[in-house]
Structure 1
Amino acid sequence: MRLGISTWVYAKYRIEDSLRRLAGMGFKVLELWADQVQLDPRVFPEDSLDDLKKLSEDLGLTFQSLHAPFSGLDVASPYDAKRDNSIQWVLRAFEYASRLGCAFVVVHPGSAESMVMVEGKEKGRGEEGILEAKERLSKALEYLGREAWRLNIKVLLENMTQRNGRRYGSRISDLVEVIDALGKEEFGICLDPGHTVISRLDVYDELRMASELLLSIHANDNDGLKDLHLLPMEREASINWLRFLKVLRSIGYKGAFMLEVYGGDNPDRIAEGARALCERLPGLEL
């Protein structure tokens, strides 16, 4: 299984410099970060895409996926203007991904604002609120799916965190339900095991639930409370990574072991630690 990493580890660097550093460390498979910095279409000029593509080819890099922008956006918002604006920016990210040769675009299925069902009329209540959230998400995905088909990419829905109240989209069963209802091949799942831990769900059961729909992962760890995006096996882990890999293989997963880890003020150290996972987790290779 190939070991990949998100360029978010170098979030404080220009995307070009991130690519050069990761290629210099031996990484071959990457996920491109496109929220607020780097390849976010709100900040990265479209006319620079061809140069970036050429740089990736010169460095021998493969872009497996692009993480669509999400800060300030919500494709399942109950507010028409915000939902429409969000969808348009995600579609711009689709165009970027297609031009850069990405197979997948990872999309958040709504924000906590629109998808958490708690006591209170403004956010919906119980089963009725969940059905409304599902309907809004499904409508957005119908449109996104048509554009994904046109561009020959797949939309991967990422499981979110669920802390207080029921959040639609935090469980893999939510994502499977929506994808099955759409009945389209343009969709898959990207599982973030760190989000699963925070949501107090069983990571290994969630992997099995995703099954053949699982096309990518965001491997990271945390303390069970905060979404820290730590390196696997860096500290006392919440996840048994040997078991995690075993379950991945048992469901026939064919994607990369894609890391999404926070680089902080010393991203070189984190990236080097990521590379060292090839020696610590059997079967991983750059």
Structure 2
Amino acid sequence: MFDIGVQTKNVVRDDNPLEGFMMLRDAGFTCCDFSLNAYLYNKNIYAGDINPFFDKSVEELKEFFTPHKEAAKQAGICINQMHMPYPILVPDGDVGMNKYLWEQVAPKSMEICKFLECPNIVIHGVKLIQKLGSEEAEWEKTAEFIDSIAGFAAENHITICIENLYNSVNDGKSTHLVEGPCCDARKAAARIDEFNEKYGSEVLGFCFDIGHANIVKLDFYDFLRTLGPRLKVLHLHDNDGIADLHQLPFTFTKTRENTSSTNWPAFIQALKDIGFEGVLSFETAPVLTSFPEAMKPTVLRFIRDIGEYISDELEKSMFF
């Protein structure tokens, strides 16, 4: 059976991390996606409201997260992936703030990743296509950022994972979502190979976010087949094909006859065909606040059950 994971956000609390990790264990999870981005929210970054959490020294941050590390081990939960705070650069943002994100938040995030013995850290590429005029120029800025942390990643056996994103576009009448950074699988595969060859190590990989892919109508099967072994981590969640809702898989339909808005069969088949052996990790933290607090253990068990279903489907004839 595949390992199944979920975000720590809305489960693990700083004042009693053991309680949260034990809740994950009791729900049947073996892994987690450590929500480092919850310590500096994206909406606050865009608003220029930077809290002082990452002002702490590396040693202070290690001390802060020691109870989390110990609790995860006590509960038998592997921290297999984490999410760096994002964005790491705000277009037309304050120069000092962008410098702080790049030179303080990012390297300290890498130090935390190492400390928690986490092998994968997900980043968001910069959204600068409108400002710089081309996807290639946008990628060059993201590549510059990756270069700033890739040496540390290589030395400490960490894989930085780029993620398929979306952009918001306003045509004067309404705002809609379109393809953003890392939505071209062939470019992503070539860029990952280039980085890994440059550093002689698997410093770069891919995080496939199925919810983002559903919004911008990517071909899941073709995308994942193109990535192949470069796919390292997953963000599993669902939406209506319009908004980034991060809800339970299989819960949105196109018709009353229950045709799913997300092509889960194509996704599962692609994972089979590329021989994916990673963690089935759910990015469904908002679900836990849409249900009553008392139902949290029940909802977590249900998420885990969905993961078990996907695992069972993957194991059917996977190695034949």
Q: Is TM more than 0.5 here?
A: yes
- Radius of gyration: which is bigger? 2
Q: How much is the aligned-residue C-alpha RMSD, in angstroms?
A: 3.0
- Give the structure 2 partner of residue 260 of structure 1: 283
- Give the structure 2 partner of residue 28 of structure 1: 30
Contact 1:231 1:270 in 2 (8 A): no
Contact 1:188 1:215 in 2 (8 A): yes
1:202 corresponds to 2:207 = no
Contact 1:189 1:214 in 2 (8 A): yes
- Give the structure 1 partner of residue 161 of structure 2: 156
Q: Following TM superposition, by how much is the alpha carbon of 1:77 offset from its aligned partner in structure 2, in angstroms?
A: 8.0
| Stretch moving more, 251-260 or 275-284 | 275-284
Match for 1:219: what amino acid?
L
2:189 alignment partner, one of 173, 176, 190: 176
2:206 alignment partner, one of 165, 189, 205: 189
Contact 2:28 2:301 in 1 (8 A): no
1:109 corresponds to 2:129 = no
- Give the structure 1 partner of residue 174 of structure 2: none
- Give the structure 2 partner of residue 131 of structure 1: 136
Q: Following TM superposition, by how much is the alpha carbon of 1:4 offset from its aligned partner in structure 2, in angstroms?
A: 1.4
Contact 2:238 2:245 in 1 (8 A): yes
Q: Following TM superposition, by how much is the alpha carbon of 1:49 offset from its aligned partner in structure 2, in angstroms?
A: 2.2
Structure 2: state its 5+ residue gaps. Answer: 42-50, 170-177, 254-259, 315-320
For 1:10 and 1:176, locate their aligned partners in 2 and report how far apart those are by CA, in whole Å.
34
Q: Following TM superposition, by how much is the alpha carbon of 1:279 offset from its aligned partner in structure 2, in angstroms?
A: 5.3
Secondary structure of 1:156's match? strand
1:4 corresponds to 2:9 = no
For 1:63 and 1:80, locate their aligned partners in 2 and report how far apart those are by CA, in whole Å.
33
For 2:54 and 2:298, locate their aligned partners in 1 and report how far apart those are by CA, in whole Å.
29
Contact 2:237 2:247 in 1 (8 A): yes
Contact 1:76 1:109 in 2 (8 A): no
- CA change 1:152–1:280 in 2 (3 A) is closer
Deviations 1:69-99 (A, max 9, x none): 115x328989764443222312211111111
1:275 corresponds to 2:304 = yes
Identity among equivalent positions (%) equals 22
1:51 corresponds to 2:67 = yes
| Stretch moving more, 204-213 or 168-177 | 168-177
- Which aligned segments of 4 or more residues in structure 1 are displaced greater than 6 angstroms? 75-79
- CA change 1:159–1:279 in 2 (3 A) is closer
Deviations 1:172-216 (A, max 9, x none): 334324323323421100100111111221122111121110011
1:91 corresponds to 2:107 = yes
For 1:77 and 1:35, locate their aligned partners in 2 and report how far apart those are by CA, in whole Å.
22
1:214 corresponds to 2:235 = no
For 2:71 and 2:106, locate their aligned partners in 1 and report how far apart those are by CA, in whole Å.
24
Contact 1:74 1:83 in 2 (8 A): yes
- Give the structure 2 partner of residue 230 of structure 1: 247
For 1:171 and 1:14, locate their aligned partners in 2 and report how far apart those are by CA, in whole Å.
42
How many correspondences in the alignment? 273
- Give the structure 1 partner of residue 54 of structure 2: 42
Q: Following TM superposition, by how much is the alpha carbon of 1:282 offset from its aligned partner in structure 2, in angstroms?
A: 5.0
For 1:238 and 1:84, locate their aligned partners in 2 and report how far apart those are by CA, in whole Å.
40
Contact 1:159 1:192 in 2 (8 A): yes
- CA change 1:131–1:240 in 2 (3 A) is closer
For 1:107 and 1:15, locate their aligned partners in 2 and report how far apart those are by CA, in whole Å.
27
Structure 1: state its 5+ residue gaps. Answer: 118-122
Q: Following TM superposition, by how much is the alpha carbon of 1:59 offset from its aligned partner in structure 2, in angstroms?
A: 0.8
For 1:137 and 1:70, locate their aligned partners in 2 and report how far apart those are by CA, in whole Å.
12
Match for 2:183: what amino acid?
S
Deviations 1:11-50 (A, max 9, x none): 7886714323212212111110011349995399611222
For 1:109 and 1:89, locate their aligned partners in 2 and report how far apart those are by CA, in whole Å.
15
- Give the structure 1 partner of residue 173 of structure 2: none
1:63 corresponds to 2:63 = no
Q: Following TM superposition, by how much is the alpha carbon of 1:228 offset from its aligned partner in structure 2, in angstroms?
A: 0.6
| Stretch moving more, 139-148 or 82-91 | 82-91
For 1:218 and 1:203, locate their aligned partners in 2 and report how far apart those are by CA, in whole Å.
13
Contact 2:164 2:180 in 1 (8 A): no
- CA change 1:75–1:283 in 2 (3 A) is farther
